[in-house]
Each structure stands twice: as C-alpha cells, then as structure tokens.
C-alpha cells in the first residue's frame, strides 16, 4: 500500500513549512551594515515577506518556548526549595542528635519492626517495605496486615472469647498480645503473582499490604461461631485420641492410619487459620515442625497425598507466610515425583515416598482419570514458588496428553487410563462422580489459576459441560429436579453420587469467570437437587449415592436410596457448592440450607467425647449407625466451606484471587482478576 500507491499518486504531501531567505538577506551579501536601524528594518522586511502561515508558526513556536521556560523555572524552584529545606532538616537533626542522619525524612511512616508484628511467630518471614504496585512480583502470600486489618481479627477473637466467657484478666492480656500477630481474618493475596519462571529462585517473603487494600472489619456471626464450635469439638477428639495420626476414630477413642502422615492435622491447618483458631494452629504448627517426617518407607496414593498434604501445606504457606510449610511442601513434592516415571508419563497411583519408587495398584496397570488429572493445581503452584519447572512439566504433560486422546464422548472422559499405553481403558462408561469428577473441576480451575490463557483447558471444559447437557442431564419426578446421571454403553442410569455435587459450584465459578450464563442456570438447578438429596432423607443428611425416580409413583419421592449406598462420610461437596452459590448470588437461602445441614451433622454425627463420625444409615434417625471414623476432609473441607458460606466477607478468600483445590485448599490465582 505504502510504496507503489504513494509513488503513483504524485509528489508527497508536505507536512512541514520551510522558511527560505532571499540571497540579498544572506549574511555578507550586499556589504555588512550592523547599524540598529538597518537591522530593525531588515528584520521587519524579512518578517513582512513571510506568508501569514509562516508568521503564525514562528509566533506559535515563540509562545511555546516561553511557556516551557516558565514551567521549568517553577519546578526547579520547588526542587531547590526542597533541597534547601532537606539540608536544613538534616542540619537540625544532626544538631539535636549528633552523628544521626535522617534515613527517611518524614515522608513515609517509619516501617514497623518485624518483631512487633510477628509477636509470637518468630519464624515467620519478615515484612518487606511497601513497593510501588508496578514492581510487585513473586509468590502471593497472605500479607502481614497493617493495624486496621488486625482489627478484623480482633473482632473475631473478641466475639469468640465473649461467647466462651474466657475473660480472665491474664488471658485477655495474652489474647490481645496474640491478636497483633494473628492474621487469620481477611485473607486475600496482595501481591500480583506470576507463572513459573524457568530460573530457580528463592521463594519470596510476604510484603506489606497496600493502603487501599485495607477494608472495614466484617464481624463474624452466630452461624460462623457455631462452625468454630463444631471445629473445636472435632479437634478436641482428634487431639485427645489421634494426635499426629491420620484419622480419628471417635467412638473407640483411637485412630486409623492411612499414610501415617498426620493427614487430619495437615488437612485442617488452613481451616484453623481461616477460622482464626490461633492456639490450635500454633500447636499443629509445632507438630509439623518437629514431627512431620516424609522420609518414611510408606506407600502413599499420589492423588490423595497431593490434594491433602501438598495442597494443604501450600495453602497454609500462602495464608501464614511461614516458610516452614513451603519447605515441607517441597519435600513431599519431590518425593512424589517418581510416580511420573512410567512408559506413558501418565503417573502411577502409588509412590513409596521413602524409597523413591512408584507402582500401580496390584491388580492393574491403570490409573484413575480423576486422579492423574487432579494434581495439577498443586504441582504447578510448587513450580511457581520454587522456580523449578519439573513439577509443572510433569503434570502439564498429562493434561496435554489427555487433551489429545480418543475415547471421549462429547468431552466426557472414561474413568481409567493405562500407565503403559497412555490410552483410556474401560471405554463407554461416563460419570461426573467417582473416578472422573475432579477431571472436570481441574480443567476449569487450572484455566483460572493460569490467568485464563490456556485455551485447551477451557475448550475441554466447555465441551465437557456440553457433553453433560447432552448425555447426562435428566429430570426427576415428582419435583422435576435436574440431576446428572451416568451413561454406560449407551444406557442412561439415574444414579448420582454425592460427589457430583461439586458441579454446581464449579459451574457457578465458571460463569463468574465469564463463561456462558446458562452454566449459572444449570448450577442453580443442580444445587437445588443436591439440597434435596439432604432434605428428602429422614436424617436430613445425604447418602453417598442416590437414584432418582424418572416416573411419578404414588408415595415416592424424587430420591431413592439403596441399602448399600445409605452411608454418609461427612463429605463437603454440597456445602462447597452452597458456598459458591451464595458468594455469587447473595441469595440467603443457600446459607439457610447450609445451616440445616450443619445442624443435622450435629444431631446425628457428633460424638459427645469429641469428634464427628461417618454414619452407615442416613435413613434411620433413631440409629444412624456410627461408623467410628472422622475423615480428614471434614475438617479440611466441610467445616471450612461452612464457615465461608456463612460469611458475608467476600475478601475472606476472595474468589478473584484464590482458587480452591479439590480438597478446599486455596491457592493463589497467578494473575488475579
Ligand atoms: C476429598 O478428598 C476431595 O474433595 C476429593 O475431590 C473427593 N473426595 C473427598 C471429599 O468427598
């Protein structure tokens, strides 16, 4: 366009004005006459010879130069003044305190001493001085908050204390002291975050909060207090009978071991932080520091230890800023890496974290699809924090590979994948429940974590939701509840796991992040169904699996329960989705539904001597048949989501800044919205 066309169009247009002097006016021509009158006349003649346009341009230039001159004079005068004042100040200070120079003359407030902020957290990272926003970099941490933010915590602690009537003078004094150091109130990352870099770097420490981030405290309410009370009751059982072990057996007042890694304690760390339970947190931290050892000859499940242990440690690191948790996260992360040494790079299900060996289950060389595709948020974050790419590379490869695989049905995936061939196995069965559930959840959440740039993840997610709509959605009778069933070799089954109740929350999160509005509509319909899975049952607690009635029958509800499915493991999924729905809609009915569920947990699963228990029969209120086990996710997820559901503080884990892993451990979004 430029060269050919412009040349053909004739001489170029001039965008400048030339001032040409005639030969007689040239210096030296016509003799040298330097008289004032001659010079004035000659200049005037030249001026008159100029065109009007030329004269205006020259006048404009003069005017412009004059304005510039005035402006620069004023600012230089200011600078001179301040230099003069500064040196006067310095002189004055030196006179008052000989030898002392003002390092930071009264422009910024003097930085607080780290000790004063940390109080009894001596090992927490030191506060960095505030940086201008454009240079803020590095991992996102819960910041050391300025006094106003601590006020919010103070409100929470004061209320808790009031309720418990713990007002002895020395205790109050102690509490006040610890309030300053405790930072479990408003939780939002203040630093911008970046995707992992290829360079190994030192993890950065928390920096201070910007003034504009400070907000008025939101006091905790009665329902949140009830959650705190429930947590404390559960924790009491764990502490008394299972301290440092994986799970509490509240009836037999003992414990069970799965990996032997203090699973409940680690899963509950960030919940304690969020609930503001300082003393409990501190005690647990001590156990992590002194007793948590990963150098053990023990087989752990890659998925479970990633979402609970690695995820729990990473989120606790972010919330507390305490590098102990990052060190432990690195340790377990490294020990899990042998799982990826398979012919297909699809990881094995089990790893011996002491020996550094990995293997599939004894009976198969398959892994579960949900398990190999729901470890990404954690490993990616570990790469970002450590600067070591290997973690992210390993899990990204899995996602890329699964993206290309055949055997999907409109984006729906089978439940198994072979670690040798890398192909899906047991084709033809599709569910949003066990073995596939969090594949869908992590597609969306990785996309959000990475700043909504990884299009393949989004494509796979939106295609899968279309697949759900096409193949798995049905309506029950008599209430016309929308539910997600299963497809087995072309046959629809009206079976829905409680696990599927993560879906309304995930759909709502997607809609909040700009995905189709009909995702939100579907979320609203599905959360109603999940609530009915509780409300239509005798104890008001959902069974593990329900079957929906597709045809109206007199005296039958929508929900049918088979004897083998009527247990309740204190699972979080419905409460999790209620939390998202309340955050995004503000509709109080979601809080009320959650409140009903909490009361029913208290009624049927609470063990008087401490702890809560899974039950075998949600249909028998007079004997729900306690199972004698409190799963770690009750503290890691269920009670945490309850607490957040009842909160009206959107900054208490702001969903534009954090993304929850599938075990409810919040991890920072790399590029917050
Ligand atoms: C948790 O470990 C996680 O939420 C996982 O994604 C599903 N199972 C339990 C809770 O039900």
What's the confidence (pLDDT) of residue 218?
Answer: 84
CA of 437 to the centre of ligand 1 (A): 9
CA of 663 to the centre of ligand 1 (A): 6
Closest CA relative to residue 630, chosen from 255, 360, 105: 255
Closest CA relative to residue 300, chosen from 291, 310, 290: 310
Please provide the average confidence, as pLDDT, over all residues in the chain: 80
Q: Is the CB of 633 under 6 A from ligand 1?
A: yes
In the annotated binding site, the residues are 662
**Own/partner pairs, 348-353, CB within 8 angstroms, 24+ separation:** 348/302, 348/419, 349/301, 349/302, 349/303, 350/299, 350/300, 350/301, 350/302, 351/299, 351/300, 351/302, 351/305, 352/297, 352/298, 352/299, 352/300, 353/294, 353/295, 353/296, 353/298, 353/300, 353/305
Q: Is the CB of 632 under 6 A from ligand 1?
A: no
Q: What's the token pair of residue 356?
A: 């550094």
The Cα 156–Cα 428 span in angstroms is: 52
pLDDT tens digits, 477-518: 999 999 999 999 999 999 999 999 999 999 999 999 999 999
pLDDT tens digits, 407-439: 999 999 999 999 999 999 999 999 999 999 999
What's the confidence (pLDDT) of residue 54?
Answer: 74
What's the confidence (pLDDT) of residue 40?
Answer: 54
Residues in the chain: 673
Q: Is the CB of 662 under 6 A from ligand 1?
A: yes
Residue boundaries of the structural domains of the chain: 222-259+362-668
Q: Please give the C-alpha separations between residue 13 and each of 5, 8, 17, 45, 52, in angstroms, as whole numbers.
A: 14, 13, 11, 29, 20
Three-class SS state of 175: helix
pLDDT tens digits, 118-146: 322 222 222 232 332 222 222 232 332 32
Global confidence as pTM = 0.74
What's the confidence (pLDDT) of residue 104?
Answer: 28
The Cα 321–Cα 652 span in angstroms is: 16
The answer to whether the peptide bond before residue 478 is cis (omega within 30 degrees of 0) is yes
Q: Which CATH architecture has domain 222-259+362-668?
A: Alpha/alpha barrel (1.50)
Mutation to probe ligand 1, out of 437, 633, 638 (largest number of atoms < 8 A from CB): 633
The parts of the chain modelled with pLDDT lower than 70 are 1-49, 57, 64, 66-215
In the annotated binding site for Ca(2+), the residues are 662
What's the confidence (pLDDT) of residue 341?
Answer: 98
What's the confidence (pLDDT) of residue 66?
Answer: 67
Close Cβ partners of 528 (under 8 Å, ≥ 6 residues apart): 481, 482
Ligand 1 atom with the smallest distance to the CA of 637 is 4
Q: Is the CB of 367 under 6 A from ligand 1?
A: no
As annotated, the active-site residues are 304, 437, 544, 573
The Cα 392–Cα 375 span in angstroms is: 10
DSSP string, 455-514: HHHHHHHHHHHHHIIIIIEEE-TTT--EEE-EEETTEEE-EEEGGGGGHHHHHHHHHHTT
CA of 454 to the centre of ligand 1 (A): 25
Q: Is the CB of 571 under 6 A from ligand 1?
A: yes
What's the confidence (pLDDT) of residue 513?
Answer: 98
Q: What's the token pair of residue 330?
A: 């690195």
CA of 133 to the centre of ligand 1 (A): 37
CA of 672 to the centre of ligand 1 (A): 26
Q: Is the CB of 636 under 6 A from ligand 1?
A: no
The Cα 201–Cα 196 span in angstroms is: 10
Closest CA relative to residue 663, chosen from 187, 308, 333: 308
What's the confidence (pLDDT) of residue 67?
Answer: 65
Handedness of CA 661, 666, 667, 669 (dihedral sign): positive
Ligand 1 atom with the smallest distance to the CA of 571 is 11
Nearest CA to ligand 1 atom 1: 663
What's the confidence (pLDDT) of residue 45?
Answer: 64
Ligand 1 atom with the smallest distance to the CA of 498 is 11
What's the confidence (pLDDT) of residue 69?
Answer: 56
Q: Is the CB of 572 under 6 A from ligand 1?
A: yes
C-beta of residue 255 within 8 angstroms of C-beta of residue 230:
no
């Amino acid at each position: 366009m430029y060269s050919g066309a412009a040349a053909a169009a004739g001489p170029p247009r001039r965008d400048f004005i030339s001032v040409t002097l005639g030969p007689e006016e040239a210096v030296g021509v016509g003799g040298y006459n330097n008289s004032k009158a001659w010079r004035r006349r000659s200049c005037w003649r030249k001026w008159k010879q100029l065109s009007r346009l030329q004269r205006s341009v020259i006048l404009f230039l003069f005017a412009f130069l004059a304005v510039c001159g005035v402006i620069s004079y004023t600012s230089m005068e200011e600078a001179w003044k301040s230099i003069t004042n500064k040196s006067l100040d310095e002189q004055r200070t030196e006179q008052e305190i000989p030898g002392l120079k003002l390092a930071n003359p009264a422009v910024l407030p003097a930085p607080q001493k780290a000790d004063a902020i940390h109080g009894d957290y001596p090992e927490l990272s030191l506060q960095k001085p505030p940086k201008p926003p454009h240079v803020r970099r590095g991992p996102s941490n819960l910041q050391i908050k300025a006094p106003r933010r601590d006020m919010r915590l103070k409100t929470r602690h004061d209320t808790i204390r009031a309720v418990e009537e713990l007002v002895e003078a020395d205790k109050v004094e102690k509490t006040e002291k610890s309030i300053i150091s405790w930072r479990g109130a408003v939780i939002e990352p203040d630093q911008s975050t970046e995707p992992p870099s290829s360079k190994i770097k030192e993890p950065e420490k928390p920096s201070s909060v910007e003034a504009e981030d400070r907000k008025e405290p939101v006091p905790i309410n009665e329902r949140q207090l009830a959650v705190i009370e429930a947590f404390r009751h559960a924790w009491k059982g764990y502490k008394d009978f299972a301290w440092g072990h994986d799970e509490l057996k509240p009836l037999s007042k003992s414990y069970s071991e799965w990996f032997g890694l203090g699973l409940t304690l680690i899963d509950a760390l960030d919940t304690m932080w969020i609930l503001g339970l300082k003393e409990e947190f501190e005690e647990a931290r001590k156990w992590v520091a002194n007793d948590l050892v990963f150098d053990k000859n023990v087989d752990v499940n890659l998925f479970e230890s990633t979402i609970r242990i690695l995820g729990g440690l990473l989120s606790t690191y972010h919330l507390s800023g305490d590098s102990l948790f990052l060190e432990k996260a690195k340790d377990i992360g490294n020990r899990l890496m042998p799982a990826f040494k398979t012919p297909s790079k699809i990881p094995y299900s089990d790893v011996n974290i002491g020996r550094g060996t990995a293997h599939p289950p004894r009976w198969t060389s398959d892994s579960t699809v949900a398990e190999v595709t729901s470890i990404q948020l954690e490993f990616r974050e570990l790469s970002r924090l450590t600067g070591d790419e290997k973690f992210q590379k390993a899990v990204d490869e899995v996602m890329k590979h699964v993206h290309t695989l055949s055997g999907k049905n409109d984006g729906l995936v089978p439940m198994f994948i072979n670690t040798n061939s890398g192909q899906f196995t047991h084709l033809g069965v599709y569910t949003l429940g066990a073995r596939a559930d969090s594949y869908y959840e992590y597609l969306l959440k990785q996309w959000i974590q990475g700043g909504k740039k990884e299009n393949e993840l989004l494509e796979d997610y939106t295609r899968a939701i279309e697949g759900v709509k096409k193949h798995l959605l049905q309506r029950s009778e008599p209430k016309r509840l929308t539910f997600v069933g299963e497809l087995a070799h072309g046959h629809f089954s009206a079976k829905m796991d409680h696990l599927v109740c993560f879906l309304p929350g995930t759909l709502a999160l997607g809609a909040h992040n700009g995905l189709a509005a009909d995702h939100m509509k579907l979320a609203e319909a599905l959360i109603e169904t999940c609530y009915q899975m509780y409300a239509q049952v005798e104890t008001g607690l959902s069974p593990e699996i329900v079957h929906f009635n597709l045809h109206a029958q007199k005296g039958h509800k929508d929900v049918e329960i088979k004897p083998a499915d009527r247990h309740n493991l204190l699972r979080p999924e419905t409460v999790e989705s209620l939390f998202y729905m309340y955050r995004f809609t503000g509709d109080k009915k979601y809080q009320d539904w959650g409140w009903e569920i909490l009361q029913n947990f208290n009624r049927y699963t609470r063990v008087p001597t401490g702890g809560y228990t899974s039950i075998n029969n949600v249909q028998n209120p007079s004997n729900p048949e306690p199972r004698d086990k409190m799963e770690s996710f009750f503290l890691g997820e269920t009670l945490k989501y309850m607490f957040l559901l009842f909160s009206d503080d959107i900054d208490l884990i702001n969903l534009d800044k954090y993304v929850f892993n599938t075990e409810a451990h919040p991890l920072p979004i790399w590029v917050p919205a």
